[in-house]
């Protein structure tokens, strides 16, 4: 069974303060937990239902310590309204700030605060093979349960690093192409793009901050053919990356 002390600990990890204190985070649901089990994240706890165990016994019996619990215990401990599969607690990774070369293809997010948007962007980046996402310090927390859920397991294959984005970009204004999504930018459809450089996307409501934009050397936009005022930042991310990848 899942003890009260462990359940309380798992509940506490819904709060960023305690995730940072314990350097741990929660992963819920069959898909995300299975992705976690094949990754290089270190597990602290693993709780599974009998059904999940029966479906994944070969994997679980090989190398993971786990406890079989009820669906009700998983729901009580976690954030899901229903969870008939699994819940894990894993250790955060200590990632260095990467050095970017002119041929790297990297996403940079400026003040993207919605956890669902961040998780979806990570999933999109994974789809297109992007391995690095640079986040400003005001972005949603990568280990927020809503972010982890929205990635659908893609969190295991990307590195997300939090930096002072202005300082980070200032290092690459001469050596890398830095693109920024802006309504004042050049029409993507009129450009010949290759998947190299840093693509900066801004806050859901306000776009890229002026102090970040000054380090961007090419503003780009998705042309509008209708009357919608704007696009969701995750949707815009997918469209922009696809334009970079289509001639690759």
The one-digit pLDDT tens for each residue of the chain (248 residues) are 889 999 999 999 999 999 999 999 999 999 999 999 999 999 999 999 999 999 999 888 776 789 999 999 999 999 999 999 999 999 999 999 999 999 999 999 999 999 999 999 999 999 999 999 999 999 999 999 999 999 999 999 999 999 999 999 999 999 999 999 999 999 999 999 999 999 999 998 899 999 999 999 999 999 999 999 889 999 999 999 999 998 77
Residue 99, in any domain of the structure: no
DSSP state of 103: T
Contact yes or no for 115/143 (Cβ under 8 A): no
160 touches 131 (CB < 8 A)? no
User: Closest by alpha carbon to 172, among 200, 142, 207?
Assistant: 200
Tell me, yes or no, whether 73 and 182 share the same domain: no
pTM: 0.95
Q: Are residues 80 and 116 in the same domain?
A: no
**Residue 15 is assigned to a structural domain of this protein:** yes
Whether 74 and 134 map to the same domain: the answer is: no
SS3 248: coil
Q: Is residue 98 part of a domain?
A: no
- The answer on 231 and 119 residing in a single domain is yes
Q: What are phi and psi of 24, to 5 degrees?
A: -145, 160
CA distance 24 to 93: 9
Provide the 3-class DSSP secondary structure of residue 131: coil
């Amino acid at each position: 069974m899942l003890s009260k002390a462990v359940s309380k600990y798992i509940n506490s990890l819904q709060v960023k303060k305690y995730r940072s204190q314990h350097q741990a985070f929660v992963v819920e649901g069959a898909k995300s937990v299975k992705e976690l089990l094949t990754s290089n994240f270190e597990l602290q706890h693993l709780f599974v239902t009998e059904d999940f165990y029966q479906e994944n016994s070969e994997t679980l019996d090989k190398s993971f310590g786990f406890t079989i619990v009820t669906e009700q215990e998983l729901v009580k401990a976690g954030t899901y309204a229903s969870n008939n599969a699994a819940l894990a607690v894993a250790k955060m990774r200590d990632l260095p700030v990467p050095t970017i070369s002119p041929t790297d293809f990297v996403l940079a997010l400026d003040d993207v605060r919605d956890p669902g948007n961040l998780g979806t962007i990570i999933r999109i980046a994974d789809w297109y093979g992007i391995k690095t996402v640079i986040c400003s310090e005001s972005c949603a927390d990568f280990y927020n349960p809503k972010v982890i859920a929205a990635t659908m397991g893609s969190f295991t294959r990307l590195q997300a690093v939090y930096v002072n984005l202005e300082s980070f970009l200032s290092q690459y204004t001469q050596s890398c192409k830095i693109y920024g999504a802006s309504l004042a930018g050049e029409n993507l459809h009129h450009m010949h793009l290759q998947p190299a450089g840093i693509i900066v996307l801004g806050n859901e409501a306000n776009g890229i901050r002026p102090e970040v934009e000054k380090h961007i050397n090419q503003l780009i936009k998705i042309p509008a053919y209708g009357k919608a005022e704007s696009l969701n930042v995750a949707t815009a991310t997918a469209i922009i990356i696809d334009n970079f990848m289509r001639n690759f």
